[in-house]
Structure 1
């Protein structure tokens, strides 16, 4: 089942018009959400990021779009798909109502909610080999639009194809200043000694949910300093550890970049703390 504007529809009957603005112009924002046994993980952060994204895109937020209303919409769909006692992945997509060309006829929105099953209830530490490379064909623009999740993901799509063609597990994206911004599917963290760095939002990094949680966690750890600062590609091979974060996998350690192989002790420790916070939050 899929939720289309508050109505539950069977997957095979869930359709949108070819003139849908999300399809035609990428006039759409979305959230990828993790639900465990009927509980939305980090729901408050997801809700406020969605509202901020809609405001940045100048979408009209419906009066009934309260945290409680949207939470109920999500949980009802999870239940209808018989996943209330299972881990689930939810995509909540908001798009502007059909009409107009670049300039929309209306600022009002519609939405769709999809759900699929996940295999594990909490984040597991992945010890598999994981190699990354820079994707330099196209760049992420620094600025506010790059910090939100829109349907304009051409760079991520092309980077994913490049990674597959060259047998990389992931690629790291650069902004117009040639600074590291993020991975194809999440934020990037660099560990060097007692310092951990992650690119600032002003460089164009996504305002990630797990990124925010880890910034909070790391600040509570004695003898470790966290910095939101630009990262040069030259710093990657000098790092002790690199890892990627997103709401579905939690923390993905990077084991190799070019000739450098990385340790994983810090990322493993942080993943334990992230799981605790997810259970309590």
Structure 2
């Protein structure tokens, strides 16, 4: 089911203009959300990140784009699927209306909401072996635009192809200063004893919603000390654990990087706390 500017359409009914600015110029931002039992998880954080991204992209935000309006449209789309109690992956895409080339002539924006059913209503940790490698063909720019969820994801696409061709579950991305910033599909955390480290936004990592939630959880757990600091590739093989976070998967522990294999004790502990936080809001 697709919700295009409040109009519900089946996938076969949807069309896109050849002049769409998101398609032509990457002039679009999006949010990937998880809806469970009729509830949008961490909706407030997603909403304010979307609004901040639109401002950074100099999009004119319609007065109608209130938290209540967009949340209602998301839930309306889910309900139209006819399986309200299922868990869904939602993509909310916003683009600037067509007109102009590099300089847009239109001020209006449009949105599109798409749905996909997920198997698990709660965050779980898969027991599958999960090996990663560095992707060094291209680098993330250490800057504000890299922190946005825009549709400029070509590095992630190329990294995913590289991982697939070389039988890796994922790859870790480097910025232009050769610092590790994130995985292809989420933020990373390194565990060394009671110390947990994650790259800062200034290094160019995605301003992830689950990253924010894990930071909040760690702030309430006295057993660990969190540090937001640059991560050198050499630190990867010294860590006890490394895990990836994103809105859909939750927490994904890394099993192996090169010759180093990792545990997942801290990841499992944090996952329990994350599920409680998701249920309670």
SS of 2:110's equivalent in the other structure is: strand
Q: What RMSD, in angstroms, separates the aligned Cα atoms of the two structures?
A: 0.6
Q: String of CA shifts for 1:59-98, please: whole Å, max 9, x gaps.
A: 0100010000000000000000123111011000000001
Shift of 1:107: 2.6
Q: String of CA shifts for 1:204-261, please: whole Å, max 9, x gaps.
A: 0101000000000011111310011000000000000000000000000001000000
SS of 1:185's equivalent in the other structure is: coil
Name the structure 2 match of 1:250: 250
Structure 1 distance, partners of 2:132, 2:107, is 40
Correspondence 1:20 to 2:15: no
Name the structure 1 match of 2:262: 262
4+ residue stretches of structure 1 with deviation over 3 A?
A: none
SS of 1:237's equivalent in the other structure is: helix
Structure 1 distance, partners of 2:226, 2:98, is 44
Shift of 1:144: 0.6
Structure 2 distance, partners of 1:74, 1:210, is 19
Structure 1 distance, partners of 2:180, 2:129, is 22
Name the structure 1 match of 2:97: 97
Q: Summarize the alignment of residues 140-219 of structure 1 with structure 2, pairs less than 5 Å apart.
A: 140-219=140-219
Shift of 1:188: 0.4
Shift of 1:114: 0.3
Structure 2 distance, partners of 1:109, 1:117, is 27
Q: String of CA shifts for 1:40-70, please: whole Å, max 9, x gaps.
A: 0000000000000000000010001000000
Correspondence 1:278 to 2:240: no
Structure 1 distance, partners of 2:12, 2:259, is 48
Q: String of CA shifts for 1:256-277, please: whole Å, max 9, x gaps.
A: 0000000110001000000000
* TM value normalised by structure 2: 0.99
Structure 2 distance, partners of 1:10, 1:97, is 22
Unaligned runs of 5+ in 2: none
SS of 1:75's equivalent in the other structure is: helix
SS of 1:230's equivalent in the other structure is: coil
Unaligned runs of 5+ in 1: none
For these two proteins, the number of residue pairs brought into alignment is: 281
